């Protein structure tokens, strides 16, 4: 085999082989970047969903009990007197603020897609909705005092959205239950 024959017959095949290996390498780099992005997103969710909220909430609830504010049994918004009690006690105010900031951070992470909305909703949906409902007067006072309508706006948007989602899920569950009862030949429960 002469050099001329080798250059004519084999160099294009070898060149094509190296080109193919380059394309495969680019594909593998792309796949590695894709997996790295997914991994980072999962790690980000871990950061925002495991933030020692229970510890902060416990400390805050103890301080609120000292002020005769029944946080754990509170279902609706805090009264004006309770809001004043929170604002007049700097330590309680800082704990409430820290607690609310954690939910604001989570809501912002959900909005930008850093944390999966369904995952966050499943884990923290009830607490987000309840926290917004209970502390809304505190937040509105903070907005008024600072002349800033955007304090905790992410939390408000996510909590309102999740409240509506929860309401719609309840309607769907009732329809499914009625459909199931009808199929089984059961009457509606007596209330």
Please give the Cα distance from 113 to 40 (Å, whole number). Answer: 12
- Spatial neighbors of 158 by CB under 8 A, at least 6 apart, are 106, 107, 110, 111, 128
- pLDDT string in tens for the chain (191-residue length): 687 877 788 888 888 998 999 999 999 999 998 888 877 766 766 666 656 778 888 899 999 998 999 888 888 999 999 999 999 999 999 999 999 999 999 999 899 988 889 988 998 999 999 999 999 999 999 999 999 999 999 999 999 999 999 999 989 988 988 888 888 887 666 65
User: Is the CB of residue 168 less than 8 Å from the CB of residue 162?
Assistant: no
- Spatial neighbors of 107 by CB under 8 A, at least 6 apart, are 128, 154, 155, 157, 158, 159
Q: 76: which DSSP letter?
A: S
Q: According to the model, what pLDDT value does residue 187 have?
A: 66
With vertex at residue 43, the alpha carbon angle to CA 49 and CA 151, rounded to the nearest 5 degrees, is 45
Q: According to the model, what pLDDT value does residue 146 have?
A: 93
């926290």: which residue's tokens?
131
Helix axes 90-111, 53-66, angle to 10 degrees: 150
Beta strands in the chain (DSSP E): none
Please give the Cα distance from 83 to 155 (Å, whole number). Answer: 19
- Spatial neighbors of 143 by CB under 8 A, at least 6 apart, are 149, 150, 151, 152
């082989």: which residue's tokens?
17
Q: According to the model, what pLDDT value does residue 148 have?
A: 94
Distance of CA 138 to the CA centre of its chain: 22
Q: 71: which DSSP letter?
A: G
């Amino acid at each position: 085999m002469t050099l001329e024959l080798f250059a004519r017959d084999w160099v294009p095949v070898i060149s094509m082989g190296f080109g193919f290996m380059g394309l495969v390498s680019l594909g593998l780099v792309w796949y590695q970047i894709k997996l790295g992005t997914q991994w980072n997103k999962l790690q980000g969710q871990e950061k925002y969903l495991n933030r020692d909220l229970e510890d902060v909430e416990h400390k805050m609830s103890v301080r609120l009990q000292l002020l005769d504010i029944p946080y754990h049994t509170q279902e609706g918004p805090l009264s004006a007197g309770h809001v004043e009690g929170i604002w007049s006690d700097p330590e309680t105010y800082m704990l409430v603020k820290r607690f609310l900031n954690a939910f604001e951070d989570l809501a912002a992470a959900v909005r930008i897609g850093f944390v999966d909305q369904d995952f966050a909703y499943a884990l923290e949906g009830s607490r987000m909705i309840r926290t917004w409902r209970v502390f809304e007067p505190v937040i509105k006072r903070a907005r008024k005092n600072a002349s800033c309508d955007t304090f905790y706006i992410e939390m408000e948007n996510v909590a309102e959205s999740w409240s509506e989602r929860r309401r719609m899920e309840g309607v769907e569950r009732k329809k499914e239950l009625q459909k199931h009862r009808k199929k089984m030949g059961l009457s509606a429960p007596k209330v």
